[in-house]
Amino acid sequence: MHLPFRVLIATQDTQVRLVTENLLKTVQAKCLVAETQDAVLALLGTPEGVDLVVADSSWEGLSLETIYRTCRSRTTAPVETYLTVLVEETNAAGAILAFNAGADAVLRKNIDPVEFLNACRAGQRLSVLAKMHRVAMEEKATAASVLTTAEQEVREATAAAAALVQEQEPPAENRQTSLVTSAEAPAPAAAQPKKARLAGGEAPIVVRQMEAVARQVLIDQGASEETCFHDVIDADAVDGQVPEWSEFVGWQGIFWPVNNLWFDVLFHFSRTGAENLCRWTLQRQAKEDGALMAGINQYLIAVQATYRAHYETGYGPSSTILCQPVVLPRPHWMEEAGQGDFTRVLKFPNSFVAYNFHIAPAALQVKAAITASPGDILNETIASRGQRPGPGVMPLANRGVILTEGRLNKIVPDLEANRTLWVIEPSLFARRMGAYTAVD
């Protein structure tokens, strides 16, 4: 019958057992024989169960109602066991009683092979349909449970983010203007990068590994960690607070799993951090934006190559997206010209660079920059921006959105549930990082 089919023959009549067993074996069904009611109930109670019960109504010690109730007790879904009852040819009352007891089919005890096999085929199909229904219901219940859990996690993460933002906001008299471009919301203070990266726990393993590799790349190229650290103290210190190494290299990131092996990573770089970085990757002091971008590109390629060389499991980022720094002062392209010193801020307005890390390190290529504005969807439409998706361009197919404050507030619950990568406007990235949880 092409599918695994378990049949229980419940009879004490040797002739009936031999005939039914031989017929069922010809269609590759697995036959189980029970000659006592206890044996019947025991076989019905096994985890595998049976698909079809062939019961002999002339067996006086056999209760058809008990068999039917046992079949029903296995599941609340449609019964997965098909009950066929054999009755004496001349006993019409027996057939009526069998149907009333829950039989799905009633056949003559003087078995007709075609009639019997047709009944078995019908039983097999109904049993398969019932099992499919049960599995679908279980999957639906599991999905509902997962969704409920995800919603609860989102609520907890959002509450933690709100508490974090409130804790980080300075007094009103000392409050600085943040990188908010949306007119929908007031401008709170910019969160310190270190605090904004992850809320409620340590960075995931992949983040810590990437940080260690990035440090080693600089050291291997001749830099000392102490030199890298002190070169940015004067430029990046805010209110007397000395930044840490990770704050100027830009290890703030949103890590969403593309699948069970790969992650998307969001980086940001301050101007001084990029200049200090290029001092070692380009072996010279770089001031022009083009040279800084080239240095960042070389640095990230070196980081990825080193990471892949030391961690052969294949786990790592699938793409990297560079965004504007989340540190003050605000750059002039945020329509704040004339306020503060912008000479040391990267001037790449709305510019994002994507890397495809799925390919081998030896063939790694830097992808073309993608310009986007808040609210834009990064997908195959990048072709309309003058770039044709192909080997040289990484199409972010439905995997990224630049969000404004209003849109972010509306869709935060969906982020956790859908596990989608969202590229957030830098100011929002600084303010709302606590609303997201990184995944190991």
pLDDT of residue 160: 64
Can you give the pLDDT at residue 307?
Answer: 60
Report the CATH number at residue 86.
3.40.50.2300
Domain region containing 125: 6-137
pLDDT given for residue 326 in this prediction: 33
Shared domain for 128 and 215, answered yes or no, is no
Whether 249 and 102 map to the same domain: the answer is no
Same domain, 244 and 311: yes
Residue 127 and residue 207 in one domain: no
Do both 18 and 87 map to the same domain?
A: yes
Residue 399: its pLDDT value, please? 34
Phi first, then psi: give them for residue 8, nearest 5 degrees.
Answer: -105, 120
Give the model's pLDDT for residue 224.
57
- The kind and range of the H/E element at 66 are helix 64-73
Residue 262 and residue 388 in one domain: yes
Per-residue tokens: 429: 């990235």
Inside any domain, residue 163: no
The per-residue pLDDT for 244 is 44
Secondary structure percentages of the chain, helix, strand, coil, to 5: 45, 15, 40
Contacts of 423 (CB under 8 A, 6+ apart): 266, 321, 323, 352, 372, 378, 400, 401, 402, 403
Per-residue confidence (pLDDT) for residue 303, from 0 to 100: 67
Are residues 131 and 246 located together in one domain of the fold?
no
283 and 360 together in one domain? yes
Instruction: Indicate if 222 and 370 belong to the same structural domain.
Output: yes
- Judgement on whether residues 226 and 357 belong to the same structural domain of the protein: yes
Q: Is residue 440 part of a domain?
A: no
Instruction: Kindly state whether residue 340 falls inside one of the protein's structural domains.
Output: yes
Residue 153 forms part of a structural domain: no
**Is residue 111 located within the same domain as residue 178?**
no
* pLDDT score for 85: 80
How many domains are contained in the chain?
2
Which residue spans within 157-315 are E strands per DSSP? 256-257, 262-268
pTM of the prediction?
0.32
The reply to whether 147 falls in a domain is no
Whether residues 129 and 218 share a domain: the answer is no
pLDDT along the chain (440 residues), means of 10: 70 84 80 83 78 80 76 57 73 73 78 82 74 71 69 65 55 40 35 30 50 68 52 38 40 38 48 64 60 67 63 50 38 33 34 37 36 37 35 34 42 37 36 31
**Strand pairing category for 262-268 and 256-257:** antiparallel
Q: Kindly state whether residue 351 falls inside one of the protein's structural domains.
A: yes
